[in-house]
Amino acid sequence: MSEAKDAPKTMMQRVLDVVEKVGNKVPHPAIIFLLLIAIVVVLSAVLELTGTRHSYEVIVPATREIETGAAPDASPSDTGTTVNYQAIEAESHSIETRTVSVRSLLTAEGIRFIYSSLIPNFMGFTAIGLMIVALVGAGVAEGSGLVQALIRKLVLVSPSWAMTYILAFVGIVASIAADAAYLVLIPLGGTAFLSLRRHPLAGLALGFAAVAGAFTVNMLIKPLDAVLVEFTNEAIRLVDPNKTIGLTSNLWFSIASVIFLTLLIAFITERLIEPRLGEYQGEKPAEEGAELSADEARGLKYAALGLLGLLVVFGLLTLPPGAALRNPDTGDLIGNSPFMTGLITLIMVMFLVTGAAYGVGARTMKSATDIIKAIEKALAGMGSLIFLFLIISQFVAYFNYTNMGTIMALKMSDGLKTANIGPFWLLIGFIVVVLILDFLITGAIAKWAIFAPVFVPLLVKLSVDPAAVLAAYRIGDSPINAITPLNAYFALVVGFAQKYDKTAGVGTIVSLMLPYVAIMIGLWTLLFAVWYVLGLPWGL
């Protein structure tokens, strides 16, 4: 990584340099996760011998599963959690009390699980499937030159100072597309910064902070909101059967958070990250004219026509009453519908169609064979990542099997619940607990299934709006996603960084993301505190 040569390093820059140096000395991520698997296996056996167990209440709507499989709009950390989105409005629900204990992986049952679950664990790891599907479309868009042309066009029509803010805002809002945002927006940030002759690692860091660090808030309603709200309502019914919150219960706070985090992420990028990186010393783009060439301009027109045609097709599939991609039972389009559940399909087709159309118009693709070659090129380098995901999927499955994360969360919850502090500090403490647990249990749905029955009734009895509890959870669940190696896409971001810096490793990404994570936690929590003290409405 290059450094600014003239300006002396600040204390924080020196600390981050140490973090990067130490972090890059750790073994390959695959070896790290193999070691973690060994630790989980041994620790599970030790804890089972001590009889570690815990009783807890869990929300179990009658037709929804919450402990196996994979959710269609979960954060990458939600891999391993299934939610039946067609059953969100089910009428019959239940609250169960369970006793959970640590399960050893060294018992006969545990060994059978390890032996027989290798393939199911990997096939249930949705990150790999989403990545392949997204890269099919993204490969065509990049191979045809559409991505580069769009970035150049954006540079031409936007003030240079605005690019950082545009990319931060788009990265945050892109969470409506779930995991596809990781696969598209993060490398796009690197490419955009390189085209502006700024350090591409700063662009990657900005994209990762926006997509991962603010994953649970948006200006739009997304399927994840439906699940979190439904779990919240079931927890409310424990103490008040007549009280509920709606899908837009956090809308105002989420919109304010998006605007606030856009400004904050852009500020951190320009004032902290780029000065530390200094001038990029790698291969820089060739000098290009200010205007697009005739071929490029024609290609963009073809891409626009392709996008228009695609919008017409999907409009017919979504807008009319009873359309195929609406919820067949309720008619919903946003929140709980096949359209939102399969949004990755729209994204893949959109990039595929517009990329191919651009290629034809710009004369960079002359036949269907060129399109297929672009897809093959995009997928060709995935071998090492597929192997890494194979190992990560086993670690996640083994860790979930042992119940260690669940018991840790419950014990921390009990400690906070009995702390005898006021509702305001209880909410702040709740944010801290969720932040800590997010290092290990990164799934937004999985953690809320544990926390909602504990904290929502407790705070409702203290006259706290349950929407405030959900807003606090959104803060606790987000920023740590950018630095925990258990984020399914953390290793992918390391791979993106190595495109620009061959020496980049885990330490590089952690050192880049720490300023975002630390500052976002502090100032976003402060925004929450001010919002709560002023009594502002959380949503509709």
What's the pLDDT tens digit per position in 496-513?
899 899 888 888 999 999
DSSP string spanning 410-425?
Answer: HHHHHHHHTS---HHH
- When pLDDT is averaged across residues 11-39 and rounded to a whole number, the result is 81
pLDDT at 333: 80
Mean pLDDT (whole number) for 77-81: 43
Task: Say if residue 125's pLDDT is above 80.
Answer: no
Which residues make Cβ contacts (< 8 Å) with residue 366, sequence separation at least 6? 360
Least confident range of 77-86, 219-228, 363-372:
77-86
Pick the closest to residue 40 from 391, 384, 538, 334 (CA basis): 391
Across the chain, how many H-helices and E-strands are there? 23, 2
Q: How confident is the model at residue 303 (pLDDT cuts 50, 70, 90)?
A: very high
Q: What is the pLDDT of residue 271?
A: 93
88-102, 292-306, 378-392: which has the highest mean pLDDT? 292-306
- 162 by DSSP, 3-state: which? helix
- Enter the tokens of residue 301: 């027109």
* Range of weakest confidence among 10-14, 215-219, 226-230, 492-496: 10-14
pLDDT value at 380 more than 90: no
pLDDT band at 20 (very low <50, low <70, confident <90, very high): confident
At 313-342, the pLDDT tens digits run 999 999 999 899 998 888 888 666 788 778
Classify residue 124 by its DSSP letter. T
pLDDT of residue 58: 59
Q: Report whether pLDDT(221) > 90.
A: no
| Per-chain mean pLDDT for the chain | 83
Per-residue pLDDT reduced to its tens digit, 405-424:
778 777 777 777 777 788 89
User: Helix (H, G, I), strand (E, B), or coil: what is residue 524?
Assistant: helix
> Is a pLDDT exceeding 80 seen at residue 393?
yes
| Whole-number Å distance between alpha carbons of 368 and 361 | 14
Q: What's residue 530's pLDDT?
A: 97
SS3 512: helix
Do 198 and 273 contact (CB within 8 A), yes or no? no
Q: The whole model's pTM is what?
A: 0.78
Q: Are strands 53-59 and 95-101 parallel, antiparallel or unpaired?
A: antiparallel
pLDDT the model gives residue 86: 38
Query: What is the C-alpha separation between 346 and 349, in angstroms, rounded?
Result: 5
Give the model's pLDDT for residue 267.
96
CA dihedral 322, 323, 327, 329 (to 10 degrees): 20
Q: Is the pLDDT of residue 85 over 50?
A: no
- Check whether 285 has a pLDDT greater than 80: no
CB atoms within 10 A of CB 362: 24
Q: Which H/E stretch holds residue 138?
A: helix 126-144
Separation CA 495–CA 143 (nearest Å): 19
Predicted confidence band of residue 73 (pLDDT cuts 50, 70, 90): very low
CA distance linking residue 127 with residue 146, whole number of Å:
25
Give the E-state strand segments of 197-298 in sequence order: none
If we measure between CA atoms, which residue out of 57, 121, 75 comes closest to residue 438? 75
Please report which confidence band the pLDDT of residue 467 belongs to, taking 50, 70 and 90 as the band edges.
very high
Identify the band that residue 82 occupies on the pLDDT scale cut at 50, 70 and 90: very low
**DSSP letter string, 176-198:** GGTTHHHHHHHHHHHHHHHHTTS
Give the whole-angstrom CA distance, residue 167 versus residue 199: 14
pLDDT at 427: 94
**Around Cβ 208, how many Cβ atoms within 10 Å?**
31
Tens digits of per-residue pLDDT, 131-152? 788 888 888 988 898 888 887 7
- State the Cα–Cα distance between residues 299 and 358, nearest whole angstrom: 4
Is the pLDDT higher at 516 or at 32?
Answer: 516
Q: What is the pLDDT of residue 65?
A: 40
Is a pLDDT exceeding 80 seen at residue 390? Answer: yes
CA-CA distance, 117 to 215, in Å (whole number)? 30
From CA 242, how far away is CA 507, in angstroms rounded?
50
Q: Is pLDDT above 50 for 442? A: yes
227 vs 108, higher pLDDT: 108
pLDDT of residue 417: 74
- % of the chain exceeding 70 in pLDDT: 87
Half-sphere exposure of 20 (CA within 13 A, CB side): 21
Mean pLDDT of 453-478: 90
| Contact of 142 with 356, CB cutoff 8 Å | no
What are the angstrom distances between the C-alpha of 198 and each of 17, 20, 408, 487, 505? 20, 21, 43, 27, 20
**What are the tokens at 422?**
């006021």
Say which range, 23-27, 168-172, 308-312, has the weakest mean pLDDT: 23-27
